[in-house]
Structure 1
Amino acid sequence: MSVKSPLFLTLLLCFNLMFGQVEEVNPPDYIKTINFKGNTPETQLPILRLGEYVVLEFDALNGDEEDYYYKVEHFNHDWTPSILVKSEYMDGFDNQRIRNYENSFNTYQIYSHYRLTIPNAQTRRLKISGNYMLSIYNSYDELVFSRKFMIYENTANVGVSVKRSRDIEFIEEKQRIAIIIDSKTMQFNNPSRNVKAVIVQNNNLKTAIYNIKPQFTIGNQLIYKYDTETSFWGGNEYLFFENKDVRASNTGIQSIDLQDLYHNYLFTNFERATRPYTYNPDINGNYVILNMDAENPSIEADYVWMHFSLLPPTEDLKNRDIHVYGNFNNYTIDESTKMTFDESRNIYTNSMLLKQGFYNYKYIVADGNKGIDEGFISGNFYQTENNYKVIVYYRDLGARYDKIIGLGEGSSINISN
């Protein structure tokens, strides 16, 4: 049985649900442009206030107009299954067919665009806060992909400030997060055990810092002033391109070509780790679907082969791989994002099928043993503008699930010492 088969993925999810932390399942190649958001333009990591809606959109490029179904599960703060039954966290039913879909219009690449909104007529309400997983299945009840999201109650104030590292070794490269949590409506019982914070940089759960406990308590105020425990590499501003007009060269695009589909060739990038930091406004790894000639980009934006190229860095990359990295695929690295070295041109190249729009991306180095090094090619600078979200979990005495009692957000644009 292939490790990429839907049956294997379903069995893997069932094992995780029963015995450990659940992980998101990435989609097959024919599923593209997964937009997952709440009432903000940011995609891939919805963090909703209780009572708000969440929207999932995706394209199926196989042209089969298949039926897809969704299921919603509730989890503890550490993404292990909660003991709640569906009726305790959901008003209505899941395992329903996604009824809202349209076929592409006036595009070279045919696709079906699916849209799911929760709450809806079948799933009328998600009743409690906490961690959730939205899973999409096909008509054979095979798991296609899954995505995490969170719902919070606004019962605690979460102050977030971004400061330079106090470690002289990393003072030019890292950013540390200071947090103050308080509440005028609830009393924290045994906060060192019952309150847990998660810090997320640029909506990327894969690099989040989990299970941060309060460092000090002053009355009902929880203080976090760690250094290493709440520090992130600063990284660098994202590179970007725009191809909302597919027939002309746009920002970041050197040339275009029309074959079976349009091909866009980006200007060749270079390593920035050894160069001084330069401020360059970005959208922190995100992307937006755009088509300047369309009324509805969701079904009128076309798919384009994007050709990336990178001059090789000076340092040796033996046993390491370079990948294109960003929120366009939920910060996943796989064979589709891997760069290949072209000896005849002395550059690394990659070709990726992406929907028209405005995209942030960067190049990262991956090592199977050491993980991902985001700064190897782009560099790490304390001045980099990053977005940080702090999610606060609380389980009171005798409670059966972890609430999310507050959400704080901060930016390093005004970083201080």
Structure 2
Amino acid sequence: MLNKLYSIIFLLVIPTIGFSQVEEINPPDFIKTITFRSNTTEGQLPILKLGETLNLEFDALTGDEEDFYYKIEHFNFDWTPSNLMKSEYLSGIDGQRIRDYTNSLNTFQIYSHYDLTIPNQQTRRLLKSGNYLITIYDSYDEIMFSRKFMIFEDLLGVGVQVKRTRNLNNIQEKQIVNLKINSNNLNLVNPKQTVKTLIIQNNNLNATISNLKPQFTIGNELIYRYDDEASFWGGNEYLYFETKEIRGANIAVQYVDLRDLYHSYLFNQINRSKRPYTYFPDINGNFVITALNVDDVDSRADYSIVHFSLNNELLLDKKIYVYGNYNNYALEPANEMIYNSEKQVYECVFPLKQGFYNYKYVAVDANGNLDEGAISGNFWQTENNYKVLVYYRDLGARFDRLIGFGETNSEIITN
């Protein structure tokens, strides 16, 4: 009887352990500038069409020409492991060394630039659509970092429209996303159960709304016209700076100093949450590596120590971070701002490769709750990018296919 009881407990516990959601692993301090390139989507979030090339690049600032390897895994819609064998979603093999790398040349910061392209000679093709995780590890099998990416089949028409919220309590601060999914010739059986959606704001997997159910069907169209359930805080336009001329002041750089490396001091910023909305173009939190008079930014662009400064009262119950896609929107000690009581400003310092960067200041409370608008404010007029992914698992299927992709911008927001 006791053995039988243990068996029941084992069966109940093991599935819970085995099917936890996977999380991305952030890199150590010496891994910088993790960059994806794609022909399909805007920004650093890789959403690829089935058959498209995946390019992952990063720098190792050790200068030791270390060996790095990669592993690719397939996941369900909810980022639990799928039931597919590796041979079912990958043609060839992974676990291979990244062979394409170059050492920096004529830079103060010594680094090696690594470039992984899939398909390649060993990993010939990714065969299925859906969610993937690529993990980079070193010769000692220690994980350096991991990143999520998605591969879609272009089987559906996905219409996306951004509107101002109809909720009067947040009408000045929120945007809602309406969807219209055209199934074309596909027979979507029981779509309320088999079709799942994911809405992503500004390529940030921390700012998503998932698994909305279609409210009604018109012909072969699934209609989603939620308000509160599909609403995002509007946020504010991202701040930005440029260091493509590393020896002199550029856009939003007050001055430059040379020590062991170049130091770029940004202009002091202020709290924008109580100020009127002002439009200025941004790239929605992303970054672009660029440098003047350099023919190969991969290995000849240098690093500078960037000094951030925010004029804000001391918040005893919150932490403030520099937030952006430059580090995959991570909240880490390296980008946490420290209050300087003498200057009465928050300050933060860390290295970035030459380029054009978007960022904003965000607050996190003692419970770990992120508030993007605490320093920047929330405005319904803000220009944001929205991506929509549509997943489908037919009855009896073993994994979630990603069968549709849509994208829009709130520049064309309507009431």
Question: 1:174 aligns to what?
Answer: 174
Structure 2 match to 1:12: none
Contact persistence 1:198–1:392 (CA under 8 A): yes
The aligned counterpart of 1:45 is: 45
1:337 aligns with 2:335: yes
Shift of 1:218: 2.0
Q: Which amino acid aligns with 1:352?
A: F
**CA–CA distance in structure 2, aligned partners of residues 28 and 77 of structure 1:** 28
CA 1:288–1:16: 2 relative to 1, 3 Å: farther
Distance verdict in 2 for CA 1:246–1:16, change over 3 Å: farther
Shift of 1:184: 1.6
Cα-Cα RMSD: 1.3
1:91 aligns with 2:91: yes
Matched residues in 1 for 2:76 and 2:143: separation? 22
- CA contact 1:39–1:54 (8 Å) conserved in 2: no
**Offset at 1:185?**
2.1
Match of 1:402 among 390, 400, 403: 400
Instruction: Identify the residue that residue 229 of structure 2 maps to in structure 1.
Output: 229
- From 361, 364, 367, the equivalent of 1:363 is 361
Q: What runs of 5+ residues in structure 1 fail to find an aligned partner?
A: 1-14
1:161 and 2:161 equivalent? yes
Deviation at 1:42, TM superposition (A): 3.9
**SS of corresponding position for 1:188:** coil
Answer whether contact 1:46 1:149 (CA < 8 A) is retained.
yes
Match of 1:11 in 2: none
Distance, in Å, in 2 between the alignment partners of 1:415 and 1:250 is 32
Residue identity in the other structure for 1:268 = N
Deviation at 1:149, TM superposition (A): 0.3
TM normalised by structure 1 equals 0.94
**1:252 counterpart = 2:252:** yes
Please say if residues 16 and 22 of structure 1, whose CA atoms lie closer than 8 Å, have aligned partners that are also in contact.
no
What is the TM-score of this pair, normalised by structure 2?
0.95
Tell me by how many angstroms 1:95 deviates. 0.5
Moved more, 300-309 or 204-213: 204-213
The 2-side partners of 1:17 and 1:205 are apart by 23
Identity %: 59
Alpha-carbon distance between aligned partners in 2 of 1:368 and 1:331, rounded to the nearest angstrom? 19
Instruction: Give yes or no for the alignment of 1:29 onto 2:29.
Output: yes
Amino acid at match of 2:174: K
Which residue in 2 is equivalent to 1:411? 409
Q: Are residues 388 and 24 of structure 1, via their aligned partners in 2, closer, same or farther at CA, if it must alter by over 3 Å?
A: same
Q: Report SS of the residue matched to 1:169.
A: coil
Tell me the CA shift for residue 370 of structure 1: 5.0
The equivalent residue for 1:7 is none
Contact map agreement 2:40 2:48 (CA 8 A) in 1: no
Matched, 1:150 2:145: no
What CA deviation, in whole Å up to 9, does each residue of 1:59-116 have, x standing for no partner?
0001111100001000000000001001111111100100000000100000000000
Aligned partner of 2:126 in structure 1 is 126
Superposed displacement of residue 342, structure 1: 0.8
CA apart distance, 1:43: 4.2
SS of alignment partner, residue 229 of structure 1: helix
Q: Is the 8 A contact 2:41 2:47 kept in 1?
A: no
Distance 1:410 1:208 in 2: 15
Report what 2:111 is aligned to. Answer: 111
Q: Does the CA contact (< 8 Å) of 2:40 and 2:47 recur in 1?
A: no
State the partner residue of 1:261. 261
Show CA shifts across 1:198-233 (max 9, x none): 000000001111111111122321100001111000
* TM-fit CA distance, 1:40: 5.0
For the structure 1 residues 16 and 100, does the alpha-carbon distance in structure 2 shift closer, same or farther, using more than 3 Å as the test?
farther
Structure 2 unaligned blocks of 5 or more: 1-14
Q: 1:90 to 1:77 in 2, by over 3 A?
A: same
Does 2:79 align with 1:76? no
Q: Rate the CA distance shift 1:41–1:163 in 2: closer, same or farther, 3 A.
A: closer
Q: Secondary structure at the match of 2:293?
A: coil
Instruction: Report Cα offsets for 1:324-359 as digits up to 9, x if no partner.
Output: 000000000110111111111111111011001000
Q: Is the 8 A contact 2:240 2:357 kept in 1?
A: yes
**How far, CA to CA, are the matches of 2:196 and 2:383 in structure 1?**
26
Q: Quick check: 1:235–1:375 contact (8 Å CA) kept in 2?
A: yes
Whole-angstrom distance in 2 between the partners of 1:412 and 1:84: 38
Q: Which amino acid aligns with 1:332?
A: A
SS of match in other structure, 2:211: strand
